[in-house]
Amino acid sequence: MPRAFHLHGVLFLLAAFTLLFFTALSLPFIPPLDLVRVHFGGVPSIGYGGQASLTELRFGTWGYCWYESTGARFCSSASHAYMVTVYNADKSRFQFLAPPFTRGLAVHPTAVGLTFCALLLSLFTNTIIALLVVLLTLLASLFAIACIIVDLVLYTGIKHRMENLDGSIQDTRLGTGFWMVVASFILLCLAGFTVCFGRRRDRMSGATSYPLTHHKKPSNWRARFPL
């Protein structure tokens, strides 16, 4: 494909891979890149398993982190399909986030792997490899959509449970990691379009044009009607 389109496709894939990679790490490895975060307004009314009161709770791909009123931050150990239990101040009521809500977060590393494969193959300009890049990019885009859906399900489950916690004033929002996944999906779509368009331009430029043959008309009427 033409060099300009090829370069743009590689850059789009590189940017998408970078965003997905850091989002797949997420919490507890990179606390700022959370998928969902909960801010608590009524600080004295929230307790976490008998510890100090909470001010913020963040959820990521492999774990969660909580911020206490003392200013300290703590994170859980990394695990797949983790669970979270949040108590109210007097420990008379709690809300439980079950593993089914976090088990689907494993689609994030899958999207990273597909994007990485597409990025490696995009470094080559072979025709067959270009088609594979398009297919892998399309598949990675589908998994990016799956990541967005799973994150939204997680957000809905957390918001519903935190609202049902007695004595709490909370604000549940989508975190930075979620918006990075959305941006990576857009970049994957741009990469797929760029590779397809570049492939089409390559085929058009390689096509052979055949000039039309012009026949000179006879100058007199006898030459037009030979005997």
Write the pLDDT tens digit of every residue in 184-211.
Answer: 999 999 988 887 665 555 555 544 444 4
Q: Which amino acid is at 155?
A: Y
pLDDT, residue 222, reads 52
How many CA atoms lie less than 13 Å away from 23 in the CB half-sphere? 32
DSSP structure class, residue 35: S
Q: CA torsion angle for 128, 130, 136, 141 (degrees, to 10)?
A: -150
Express each pLDDT in 53-74 by its tens digit. Answer: 788 889 999 999 988 877 788 8
Express each pLDDT in 155-168 by its tens digit. Answer: 999 998 888 876 66
**Segment holding 73, helix H or strand E:** strand 73-75
Query: Omega into 28 within 30° of 0, i.e. cis?
Result: yes
CATH numbers and ranges of domains, the chain: 3-203 (1.20.140.150)
CA angle 25, 75, 161 (to 5 degrees): 95
Unique residue bearing structure tokens 């570049």: 198
CA gap 199, 182 in Å, rounded: 26
CA gap 192, 4 in Å, rounded: 14
What are the pLDDT tens digits along the chain (227 aa)?
445 556 788 899 999 999 999 999 988 899 899 999 998 875 434 455 555 678 888 999 999 998 887 778 888 889 888 888 887 766 666 777 888 889 999 999 999 999 999 999 888 877 788 888 889 999 999 999 999 999 999 999 999 888 887 666 678 999 999 999 999 999 999 988 887 665 555 555 544 444 444 455 555 555 554 54
> 134-168 burial string, b = 16+ CB within 10 Å, else e?
bebbbbbbebbbebbebbeebbebbbebbeebeeb
Q: Which of 163, 179, 180 is nearest to 171 (CA)?
A: 163
CA gap 116, 125 in Å, rounded: 17
